Amino acid sequence: MSETNVAQALGWTPPPGWPAMSRDAIQARLTAPGERFEMELVDIRGVPTRTWKNAPENLRALMTLARTHGTREFVIYESERVTYAAFHRAVARLAVELQARGAARGDRVALAMRNLPEWPVAFFAAVSIGAICVPLNAWWTGGELAYGLADSGTSVLICDAERWDRIAPHVADIPTLRHVFVSRGEPGTLAGGAERLETLIGAPATWADLPDADLPNVPIAADDDATIFYTSGTTGNPKGALGTHRNLVTNIFSSAWNAVVAALRRGEVPPDPVPRTMLTVIPLFHVTACSAGLMGAVAAGHTLVYMRRWDPVQAFQVMERERVNVTGGVPTIAWQLLEHPARAQYDLSSLEAIAYGGAPSAPELVRKIRDEFGALPSNGWGMTETMATVTGISAEDYLNRPTSCGPPVAVADLRIMSEDGARELPAGEVGELWARGPMVVKGYWNKPEATAETFVDGWVRTGDLARLDAEGFCYIVDRAKDMILRGGENIYSSEVENVLYDHPAVTDAALVGIPHHTLGEEPAAVVHLAPGTSASEAELQAWVAERLARFKVPVRVLFTEDTLPRNANGKILKKDLKALFEREPERL
């Protein structure tokens, strides 16, 4: 079915006169000299690259901008409310404390905690002194967290008490770790010589009483190292994507670009930026929440609302009480908000937009957001290696192309390449998606071979299969190798398979993704047991759960009498295995 037919099947017909402007005309207008979205050509690691001319030079400059928002509320977490002024005071104090303990330019300061007001304080304190912040996946096990700390060579760890309980037994495996500061830990109960973060900056309620000090005066260039976000390939250990200050501040203008384009497409004058209240329900250790969300929010003075854990009813309560304007993150969130029976009991009229990315989404979701919430749906594509946003699509364009993730923002380029990377394919053909722009990271931390394979002359080879239409709109048709996306969480099959192989009864194993209505897909395993041995589905699930984060545990385990099917090169034919689950009932 063509994209037009898909849109029509969902009840969408473009209104008369839409679009009011072509995308080329919009780009020419918005990027003209002197305009807000003016671009300039900058040499980045030897590659001439279009950049947003008016973006902050670095994250320290962004914090200086945040200070100007004054008494506007920055973060709301349960009963805690923190203004921008108090936020800046806490960042400035923690930055000085980190320097006093020897943290300097290029040193790694890791961050492992749930979404708390302390998270952005720790992040900006680290990057404002030229250190490299390493946000670690708070869902990881202690062993996984210890690997990230050791691999990055972290010297200072800032975490919450729950994460420290997991990490503390592994400190012997982290030789570079010198200082640990734990948030919300009970006094006198912290193991391993850790200190309470509150001894440095106090609790959030007291941040407003800290001195109104400037940030330490540290010169930082736009392309200096800023972050290491961990991702993975389908083989080996997780890889740390080394991001720069420019990578992160690029998202400020990329997100705004998509909103302004949508207004011009419908013939409206783009409104002046107005602070909004945003419910952030995805973890800040993802580039989606940190780079695409937090950076733009700090620049614009938005209010961010955090929840301790995701719960649709609690989300409704928060949205009603705080008059939330924007939420989303991954399609799972949108589906659960739409389909929960309690939704009608709450006043959600303040909701203006539901934005998501990071996982497959059904075209039906686009229509439902518009019809049932009266909100504008938006989607986009990016990856850890692009520090989030490369493409974006919203409003009428999204309703008109409900299976697209949008065209690239003005400073980015996409191309579709042949499998060997030697030839660019024409519009409409499917091949590997390559992306280029100021958001692309430097490479992988201490992994030169993997870097050389993935990053080529400013382009990142995404591994995703995609096509571009004649107007440059991108359509992802398959994903990198055997990665599974469960509600926005990456699950790399080899990691789970290796754990299954460690079980004494398992001699053959493969992990595949099976469809799920709201999560997009879930992990499921097919295994072959050694003759004379036995294992149950529950036993293998428990085996994985003891060694990996819960979201990586297979929701189904099927057993085969024969070894798994392979091709002539010995590679397991996973497409054949997925068919085994087609008759299995989906677990909602």
How far is residue 54's CA from residue 39's CA, in Å, rounded to a whole number?
8
pLDDT tens digits for range 124-168: 999 999 999 999 999 999 999 999 999 999 999 999 999 999 999
| Residue 508 confidence class, pLDDT cut points 50, 70, 90 | confident
Question: Quick check: bond before 19 cis, omega within 30?
Answer: yes
Q: Residue 569 has what pLDDT?
A: 45
pLDDT tens digits for range 304-350: 999 999 899 999 999 999 999 999 887 778 888 888 889 999 999 99
- DSSP character for 52? E
Q: Residue 570 has what pLDDT?
A: 54
pLDDT above 90 covers a percentage of the chain that reads 72
| DSSP strands (E only) in 106-178 | 108-112, 132-135, 156-160
pLDDT tens digits for range 95-121: 999 999 999 999 999 999 999 999 999
Name the CATH superfamily for 59-74+84-220: ANL, N-terminal domain (3.40.50.12780)
How far is residue 410's CA from residue 233's CA, in Å, rounded to a whole number?
29
The CATH architecture assigned to 3-54+241-478 reads 3-Layer(aba) Sandwich (3.40)
Structural domain boundaries in the chain: 3-54+241-478, 59-74+84-220, 483-581
360 pLDDT above the threshold of 60: no
586 pLDDT above the threshold of 80: no
Single-letter residue type at 537: E
| Residue 366 confidence class, pLDDT cut points 50, 70, 90 | confident
How far is residue 148's CA from residue 145's CA, in Å, rounded to a whole number?
5
| DSSP strands (E only) in 369-517 | 376-383, 388-394, 413-417, 431-436, 443-444, 455-456, 459-468, 474-478, 483-486, 489-492, 506-516
Q: Residue 585 has what pLDDT?
A: 42
| Residue 478 confidence class, pLDDT cut points 50, 70, 90 | low
Q: Nearest CA to 110 among 61, 165, 60, 167?
A: 167
235 pLDDT above the threshold of 90: no
Name the CA radius of gyration of the chain, rounded. 24
Going by CATH, does the domain composed of 483-581 fall within 3.30.300.30? Answer: yes
223 pLDDT above the threshold of 60: yes
Do the strands 388-394 and 520-529 form a parallel or antiparallel pair, or are they unpaired?
unpaired
Question: How many residues are listed for the chain in this entry?
Answer: 588
The residue whose two tokens read 């759960």 is 545
pLDDT tens digits for range 520-550: 889 999 999 988 889 999 999 999 999 999 9
| Four-residue CA torsion sign, 442, 444, 446, 450 | negative
3-54+241-478 shares its CATH topology with 59-74+84-220: yes
571 pLDDT above the threshold of 90: no
pLDDT tens digits for range 11-63: 788 999 999 999 999 999 999 999 999 999 999 999 999 999 999 999 999 99
3-state secondary structure of 138: coil
Q: Residue 483 has what pLDDT?
A: 75
